[in-house]
A and B are shown apart, each in its own frame.
Chain A
Amino acid sequence: MRFRPSSDQSLMIYFDQAITLETHHRVLKLLRLLEAEPITGVRNLHPGYCSLLVKFDGLKLRHNELEATLRTYLEHLETVPLPESRQIEIPVCYGGDYGPDLNEVAETHGLTPSQTIELHASVPYVVYFLGFVPGFAYLGELPESLVTPRLAIPRRNVPPGSVGIAGSQTGVYPFATPGGWRLLGRTPIAMFRPDRAGMSFLSIGDRVRFIPVSSERFVAMESA
């Protein structure tokens, strides 16, 4: 456990320096505890793989005061119950225009495109946290044989719903944004909708599976 000021109005808590499920659970527990029992002067929380950034009002709190309060929270962290994870399925149409990098990723790993799809859809992923833009979930971990570095030059415009991989992570782009992840397919599901309760389709802690669907099914679901 390490505390470090990030700015004059934010404090970083590092739980570890490696991505593990155990560390993720500690990040999630502190997040849930701070949501249930907010600290006066705390404005925002940004969970990461192994850390939690706490933004605060610098007129109301100082780093050392906040650290002292957070240490009391951390003392009873183990008693915080985590609800059962939600199991979420995300239909994906792989390859073609929807997944322009599928063939190259397959080649890199000496796989066929269908083996690549099978592998990507073979394991459940954990939502470690949301970041980048509203509703973008960082999902891990990819099967070892799919781990691929991100594109050297990011695309200027990735279509919303695009399913990509980068390093040992995978994720779905909620909006048309620039992006450097390698695109394997696309989902017809809207990942972030301001008119829907909860807004974000995925939340931290969810378990996610990708389900391959045909392009006909994709079009039918998109227009539904």
Chain B
Amino acid sequence: MKVIQVQAPGLLTTVQDLGREGFGPMGVSPSGASDAISLRVGNRLVGNAEGAAALEMTLLGGSFLFPEGAIVALTGSDFGATLDGAPVEQWASIEFRPGQTLSLGPTHSGARCYLCVRGGIAVKPFLGSASTHILSGLGGFDGRPLRKGDVLNIGAVDQASANESFRRVALTPKVRERLLPRKTLRVTPGPQCDWFPDSSLRLFYSSTYRVAEESNRMGLRLEGERISPRSGAEMITEGVSLGAIQVPDAGLPIVLFVEQQTTGGYPKIANVISSDMASVGQLRPRDEIRFESVEWKVARSLLREMEDLLASPQLIS
């Protein structure tokens, strides 16, 4: 079995796939890749099913030795990757020879970079997914971020594809342009949007918010104008959706993210639309963002457009 030896783990590197939906009644959140689009494209580039497990690196990448070689693609943000010292092309498949070392540094663009490998990262699935849920220590590699010295198994590929000679494929520049992360996030109204007075809604949609340092995969805390619901209404804890923007008592919004708690007791003013969630995964602390309200039908057609784009035969060439 081929392996990856972790020589340096980077700041926060975890095994992720597309997460585990369906276990809300047990309080289990889906987890999964912060930027699911980069993970899906990366897997396509190396010939995997698009939901195969890969490594998600955060802000600062690691260093990885491939003793038996591998076919790899790096997607997401540019972490200045080098292979035995030579620059590595992103958004394309590359063949690593046995004994080569991939090294990544600090990000040059967004928050996360994905290392996808043909065969995927093989870990014992938890509730049908390889995703790490850091807070509860479940899933992924031992339920935790990678450490120096960890050895990851690369999944087996069928004999036919193993014998195929390597052919470089890359994401087409046109598609790449369309997948660039957004800083203006489009949102639909939250279930408690009418709890907020017009003045708060105006403030929310007209101000610039800054992503706080203590943001993580559970949620992005924002700094900026404080908003508050009308007094009097009492919130009863209820289920929360991915991308929900909840407003705690202090008035600074929090965007609930992939490792979100499954229920919450704060009013939600808005919800990031599904097709913009991957952009949330590329936000770094101190990034400045704005919110733009869109109609339900716009959210729906943007999701459809994104899925059509990802399914199109012109995606890679």
Contact = CB atoms under 8 A, between A and B. Distances in A.
Interface of A: 4-10, 12, 17-19, 31, 35, 43-53, 55, 58-59, 62-63, 129-138, 174-175, 177, 192, 194, 199-200, 203-204
26 contacts: A7-B188, A7-B241, A7-B243, A7-B273, A8-B296, A12-B238, A43-B22, A44-B22, A48-B236, A48-B238, A51-B239, A52-B239, A53-B239, A53-B241, A55-B241, A58-B299, A59-B304, A131-B27, A131-B262, A131-B263, A132-B27, A133-B261, A174-B136, A175-B137, A192-B136, A203-B26
A138 B272 CA distance: 27
The 6 A-B residue pairs with the shortest CB-CB distance, nearest first, are A46-B239, A53-B239, A131-B263, A48-B238, A130-B27, A8-B299
Contact of B26 (A6, A51, A63, A134): A134
B220 interface: no
Interface string B288-317: 000000001001100110010000000000
Interface residues of B, number: 45
A47 B27 contact: no
Nearest to A135: B27
B231 interface: no
A171 B27 CA distance: 13
A180 B66 CA distance: 45
Contacts of A177: 135-136
B250 to A, nearest CB: 11
A129 B191 contact: no
A48 B264 CA distance: 9
A16 to B, nearest CB: 9
A31 B21 CA distance: 15
B30 interface: yes
Contacts of B81: none
B52 interface: no
B88 interface: no
A55 B23 CA distance: 11
A7 B274 contact: yes
A46 B24 contact: yes
Contact of A133 (B22, B30, B135, B239): B135
A130 B25 contact: yes
A30 B191 CA distance: 20
Contacts of B26: 130, 134-135, 192, 199-200, 203
Nearest to B192: A4
B242 interface: yes
B28 interface: yes
B26 to A, nearest CB: 5
Nearest to A132: B261
Contacts of A43: 21-22
